[in-house]
Structure 1
Amino acid sequence: MNVHIFASMFQVCYEIAHPLCVQRNCPDFTGYINEDMPNSWECPMCCKLGKNTDYRPRHFRARQKSSDMRRMSISSDASSALEVKQQEHLSDSGSENEHKDNTVELPIKKRRSSESTEVDTKTASPTDPPRKTAFRMQLAHQIASQSTKVLKKPMVVVRPAPIVQVSTTPLNTLITDKRCMLPVFKYLTPRELLSCALVCKTWATFTVDPSLWKRMVFSRKHISSDILKGIVRRQPEVLHLDWCHINKFQLPWLFQRLNQLKELSLVSINVKTAISLRTNHSASLQVLDLSYISDFSDSALREILGPNNDSRTSLAAEKIRFRNLKTLRLSGTDITDIAMRYVTQYLPNLQHLSLSMCPRISDAGIAQLTTKPANTVTNLISLDLSHSKLVTETSLDHLSKCEKLTRLDCRQSLGISTQALIKFAAKSEHNLQVRDIKLVDIRQKN
């Protein structure tokens, strides 16, 4: 017997067969054995033609029906089946004859379930319920006939109505009043504010109020996306990201969303992250700290403070990115005298400048700060030249042109003597004095 003879006998080869019998009787016969169904052989030609998906074996369809019946909930149908069974008992004799006369009987084939229980042959009429409902009712009848336990209809969970308490106190109590709670929250630490945020939604909203987070400090932290979202939500005015791991994509994203930021500290971050500030423009930033950044050179400072090359109409008039910057700290960087040219060119409102521990700054760079027509000459108030190796007393002659200079730090600067600083203080009109050996400051009143 070959494949074609077998196909001609059954017309559709996708039928039940014993694989051992087929191999014993037809040694040259090949095919697929379905492991999901016992004693099932699939013809390779039928599988290739896709008949195995169109025609299913009888026992597989019966198994699928029984699994569908198991998934259905029968608790409600079992109780209703009892009522139907009692009604059928009363009207069985009269209604059976009428049903035979007035309806057209449609035969339903026998099927075998997975438990090897045979379903009786029944008749179906056009008024029968849908197929799925019939399966549920049939299974409910079987359970009701075999069980002696009284079945009850399922109980529906009904929650009681909330108890309304009549209170004379106003709805807006003190603990939910923002005007009363914010002054109290100002005395709490960030950890304590986190505990308060877990009390209720109202307090959680109060704890992220920008008035409570005017100053946020992150030191030696790995800045994640959650931290960035938390910072933006709180809108601080002072933000310190000293020695933090933040990349060149995170900082611009954060900076352009902090509209109220006035002070930004980026001590010892990656130089590429610091240069990414060139894509942002801030009119509210007043303090910028770029101290102790490795490989921070003149070109890096020009990238940050350089002119605005943005072609957008809204930013075309803003030629200076940080036009309102008043304090710039460049301590411990590798900038040279050329960087002082960028400071005077792009920071017209600069008042405080820190060049501490900048070994490549010399008298020529200090002279750049006082070169006319630079506006910095009249605005510079304090200058830090501590630990400078190349700055000498010649720089004091240039700084004497700064009319508003009231603080000059030359501590640990070997090129400047104390006597020269005393003469510089005496020439000033701001009543200056020299204290802490080489620190020139306003004389304190007793």
Structure 2
Amino acid sequence: MTVTDAPPVAVRPVTVARGYRFELVKLLSQWRNRLLIIACWLAPAVFVAAVSQQSDLPVDTLFGRWMNTTGWAGSLVLLGFAGSYALPLLTSLIAGDVFAAEDRLGTWRHLLVAVRSYRRIFVAKTLASLTVIFLLVAGLAVSGIVGGLVAVGNHSLVGLDGSLLPPGDAAGKVLLAWLCTLAPTLTLAAIGLLGSVAFGRSPMGLLLPVVVALVLGLAQLLPLPVAVRLALPSYAFIAWNGLFTGPVQLGPLVIGVGVSLAWAVVAAAAAYRLFLRRDFTNLASDGSIRRAITIGVLPLAALLAVTVAIIASAAPATGSGIEQHKVQRSVATAFAHLYRLQTAQLNRPDVTEAQLAATAACTKGDGRISQQGPGNDWRCVVSWHLPDVAATGTAIYQLDVTPDGRYVADGDGPKEVNGYFPVRTPDGDVPNPLWQFDGDVELLPTTPKG
């Protein structure tokens, strides 16, 4: 009896779709990731609802002073917190661990034998981690919005120019703001992938998105030139502020989103190149630090330099971008809108912005220093006119302007206009919109009105 060789059996390659499903199931089966998903979908609603019912609101945060008047403000407060703290941490725990987990468990050989394609493994792990991250971000957004609407209601929102946004407009801008933060989140996720591939079992790979976010966040607090500030991917986490001004500041927002996407592409490409060059036959090897610097760090540094040059030439701006005429225009516009809001609260005859003709005269450091740049030494005197009233109304504000263009205007009299927190209305005391208000100065060059 002759024994013949069995015909070779063709083995089908594992497709990206099958690898993606496998990696997604692995991520979702981890108890840590399950807890993160539950927390992101439940905790923000509880937080926003609880804070909105307090009398002591987080007025030092953007839109915090309006949390007990509209449900949309709480979601924006949460968005500011998420961009600084929550999203860097979430991307670290998901993207920063997706490759390093295989190093810790020593399962690379099994995975490579099963899939037999470095490219498919990288794509599957990347898509799976991004899916989980998007699920977490969606949870933060939906939960924060629902918590605010249930606790306070679907009311109009006061924008950063003092105008009153109807609920429909507020809803659209809040959703767009959350959508725009996906771009810098992608950047942190790509940096997490890069760290996970480059550092292997080392905790540094897991912490890299948090460290990078911390460094970039600290950079945004410095008085950097406008081109450098907009060239950092972290600016997209605050560029959504321009959606709530009039006119909408689309320039910085588009630049911030574009820069973030460029960083995400370069960081992901660097992670892919490093992954292809990993030595998986040596279980003790976590990769080469020199290779990580040349392939990972240098391209990002080059991208930053190129981006700064492009922004500086396409949208030239000197210094910090915070200039006297911009501050004056922003304060006058916000005051005029908020004055009309106060007028409606007091049941006085309505006036238009054109009738008020509000202007602001602002000085920094009592005029003894350069009239530009951030600082808490800005002082503005706002003047306006009322129909059939000969006297000109004036009000004083002390401004604290941050390097990113955001400011808080603190009323300093007269007391009947902005000297007290509440105003007495026929329905009782309500917060005085002119007592303190938030504003935003556009950093890019603008054409002065008038």
Superposition TM-score, scaled by structure 1 size: 0.20
Structure scoring higher RCO (CA < 8 A, sep ≥ 6) equals: 2
The structure number with the bigger radius of gyration is: 1
Superposition TM-score, scaled by structure 2 size: 0.20
